[in-house]
Amino acid sequence: MPVQSASWNASSIPLSQIRNPGNVLPTIRLLSLTTVNNKPPATRVSATIPISPLLDTNVPSRSRMIIVNLLEDLRTWIRGLNGMNTTDRHSPRLTGRAAIGASATSGLALGLTQPGGHLGPLSLVCLVPLLGAFHARRGSERLLLGGLAGAIGTAVSVGGTGSVALASYFDLGGVALGLAWLLSLLVLGALPVALFSLLVGDPTRTDSRPAFIGVGSAWVLGEAFRQALFPGAWLSLANSLTTTPELLQSASLVGPLGVSFWIAGANGLIHRAVIGPRRRPPITGLLVLVTALGSHAVWSSLADGPAGTVRVAGESGPAPGAIRVALVQSGLDSRDRDAIRSDRESRNRLVRLTRSAGPVDLVVWPESSFRSVWPFNHPLLEEAPLGISFGHLLFGAPWVESLPARDALGVAGILVDADLQLRARHQKSRLLPFAETPRLKRFPGLLTKPGMAAYAAAEDAHPLDLGIAHPGVLLCYEILLPDLARKLVGDGADLLVNLSNESWLGSGTHGPDQMLAASVLRAIEERRPVLRSTT
> To the nearest whole number, what is the mean pLDDT of the chain?
74
Please check whether residues 54 and 157 belong to one and the same domain. no
Torsion angle, CA of 128/133/134/140, rounded to 10 degrees? -130
Please check whether residues 207 and 281 belong to one and the same domain. yes
pLDDT for 297 beyond 60: no
pLDDT for 53 beyond 90: no
CB neighbours (10 Å) of residue 13?
A: 11
pLDDT digit string, tens, across residues 206-227: 655 677 888 999 999 999 999 8
- Cα distances from 316 to residues 310, 313, 320, 362, in angstroms, run 18, 8, 11, 20
Q: How many CA atoms lie within 13 A of 454 on its CB side?
A: 11
Q: How far apart are CA 238 and CA 256, in angstroms?
A: 6
What is the band of 496 on the pLDDT scale with cuts at 50, 70, 90?
very high
Mean pLDDT within 321-336: 75
Mean pLDDT within 262-289: 71
Query: Is the residue at 308 inside a domain?
Result: no
Q: Which of 84, 107, 138 is the last residue of a domain?
A: 84
pLDDT for 108 beyond 70: yes
DSSP letters for 118-143:
S-GGGGGTTTHHHHHHTTT--HHHHH
Q: Which residues contact 226 (CB under 8 A, 6 or more apart)?
A: 187, 188, 191, 192, 233, 235
Q: What is the reported pLDDT for 453?
A: 55
pLDDT for 339 beyond 80: no
Please check whether residues 97 and 46 belong to one and the same domain. no
Share of the chain above pLDDT 70, in %: 66
Q: What is the reported pLDDT for 522?
A: 93
Q: What is the reported pLDDT for 398?
A: 87
Please check whether residues 346 and 495 belong to one and the same domain. yes
pLDDT digit string, tens, across residues 13-42: 343 443 444 443 333 333 333 333 444 444
Q: How far apart are CA 73 and CA 80, in angstroms?
A: 11
Please check whether residues 31 and 115 belong to one and the same domain. no
Please check whether residues 397 and 524 belong to one and the same domain. yes
Q: What is the reported pLDDT for 103?
A: 94
* Stretch (H or E) spanning 26: strand 24-31
Most confident range (mean pLDDT) of 8-22, 131-145, 331-345 is: 131-145
Please check whether residues 43 and 110 belong to one and the same domain. no
pLDDT digit string, tens, across residues 217-261: 999 999 999 988 888 778 899 999 988 887 888 888 888 999 999
Residue closest to 214 by CA, chosen among 177, 267, 172, 170: 267
pLDDT for 281 beyond 50: yes
Query: Is the residue at 311 inside a domain?
Result: no
The count of structural domains within the chain is 3
pLDDT for 484 beyond 70: yes
Please check whether residues 364 and 441 belong to one and the same domain. yes
Mean pLDDT within 165-171: 74
Please check whether residues 80 and 118 belong to one and the same domain. no
Mean pLDDT within 295-307: 51
Measure the CA angle with vertex 238, ends 232 and 244; round to 5°: 130
Q: How far apart are CA 370 and CA 397, in angstroms?
A: 5
Most confident range (mean pLDDT) of 4-18, 298-312, 350-364 is: 350-364
Q: What is the CATH number of the domain that holds 374?
A: 3.60.110.10
Mean pLDDT within 133-147: 90
Query: Is the residue at 197 inside a domain?
Result: yes
Q: How far apart are CA 36 and CA 400, in angstroms?
A: 66
Share of the chain above pLDDT 90, in %: 24
Higher pLDDT, 432 or 333: 432
Query: Is the residue at 508 inside a domain?
Result: yes
pLDDT for 460 beyond 50: yes
Q: Which of 84, 102, 120 is the last residue of a domain?
A: 84
Query: Is the residue at 381 inside a domain?
Result: yes
Please check whether residues 196 and 272 belong to one and the same domain. yes
Q: Is the pTM of this model over 0.85?
A: no
- What are φ and ψ of residue 390, in 5° steps? -150, 160
Residue numbers of the domain that contains 365? 325-534
Mean pLDDT within 262-286: 72
What is the band of 301 on the pLDDT scale with cuts at 50, 70, 90?
low
Please check whether residues 158 and 271 belong to one and the same domain. yes
Query: Is the residue at 320 inside a domain?
Result: no
Q: Which of 68, 84, 100 is the last residue of a domain?
A: 84
Please check whether residues 269 and 339 belong to one and the same domain. no
Query: Is the residue at 102 inside a domain?
Result: yes
| One-letter-per-residue 3-state SS of 219-266 | HHHHHHHHHHHCCCCCCCHHHHHCCCHHHCCCHHHHHHHHHHHHHHHH
Residue closest to 437 by CA, chosen among 228, 187, 230, 235: 230
Q: Which residues contact 267 (CB under 8 A, 6 or more apart)?
A: 124, 125, 126, 127, 128, 131, 215
- Cα distances from 230 to residues 233, 277, 432, in angstroms, run 6, 41, 9
Mean pLDDT within 424-447: 65
Higher pLDDT, 308 or 210: 210
Query: Is the residue at 313 inside a domain?
Result: no
